[in-house]
């Protein structure tokens, strides 16, 4: 896109036309990109639209963006991964509830418990280093083998093993109240 830097500066100053130009140029491709992660078209649309809403809300920092295309792709990717994590945790909860209905007799209390657990887990995951978090999530939330992670990230297998172990130690320490439930959910 020609004049990208000028458009980013204009966006940072509140120029709605600049946002509209970025939206027109990238929306369709971002929607298709989201579809590589999430198969539900409506969810892909919501994610992609929210990325542009977030761009507008944080427009003051737009002048610092080096490549709007890369920025938007990364934002869509992160939003898709967050949605997949949310769906995965929800499905694991439903699976456990189906296997152990006696545990879930007090549905409201359990919903609050699992909501709090999810919030605390997400907060703890945000405290991990990027490589710890990525390795942990790929292994425990996406079900990838450590060797697959090493190959995908192009890092040594030992590094993957160490990052996952560090993440587990951190989570155990920060989520000790919920540890027994985490053992079931994440196969720790």
Alpha helices per DSSP H over 68-145: 68-99, 107-127, 130-136
CB-based contacts of 91, cutoff 8 Å, min separation 6? none
Longest dimension (CA), the chain: 62
Q: Which of 65, 46, 56, 54 is nearest to 17 (CA)?
A: 56
The verdict on 120 and 68 lying in the same domain is: no
Domain of residue 145: give its range. 106-186
**Is residue 150 domain-resident?**
yes
Q: Is residue 96 part of a domain?
A: no
In a domain, 174, yes or no: yes
The tokens for 130 are 């990027």
Cα separation, 168 vs 60, in Å, equals: 37
Whether 141 is in a domain gets the answer: yes
Could you tell me if 49 and 121 lie in one domain? no
Within a domain: 98: no
Same domain for 172 and 118: yes
**90 within a domain of the structure (yes/no):** no
Q: What is the pLDDT along the chain (188 residues), one digit of tens a residue?
A: 568 899 999 999 999 999 999 999 999 999 999 998 888 899 999 999 999 999 999 999 988 999 899 999 999 999 988 888 887 777 776 666 666 665 555 554 555 556 666 777 788 888 999 999 999 888 887 888 999 999 999 999 999 999 999 988 888 887 776 655 555 555 55
Total domains present in the chain = 2
Residue 151 in domain: yes
In the chain, % helix, strand, coil (3-state, to 5) comes to 85, 0, 15
């Amino acid at each position: 896109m020609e004049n990208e830097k000028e458009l980013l500066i204009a966006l940072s100053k509140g120029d709605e036309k600049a946002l509209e130009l970025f939206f027109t140029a990238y929306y369709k491709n971002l929607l298709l990109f989201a579809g590589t992660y999430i198969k539900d078209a409506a969810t892909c649309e919501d994610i992609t639209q929210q990325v542009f809403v977030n761009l507008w809300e944080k427009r003051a920092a737009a002048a610092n963006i080096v490549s709007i295309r890369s920025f938007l792709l990364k934002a869509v990717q992160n939003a898709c991964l967050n949605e997949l994590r949310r769906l995965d945790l929800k499905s694991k909860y439903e699976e456990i509830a189906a296997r152990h209905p006696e545990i879930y007799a007090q549905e409201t209390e359990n919903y609050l418990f699992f909501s709090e657990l999810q919030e605390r887990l997400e907060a703890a995951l945000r405290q991990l280093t990027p490589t710890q978090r990525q390795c942990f999530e790929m292994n425990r939330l996406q079900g990838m083998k450590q060797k697959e992670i090493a190959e995908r990230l192009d890092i040594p297998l030992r590094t993957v093993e160490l990052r996952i172990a560090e993440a587990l130690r951190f989570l155990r320490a920060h989520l000790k109240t919920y540890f027994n439930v985490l053992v079931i959910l994440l196969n720790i």
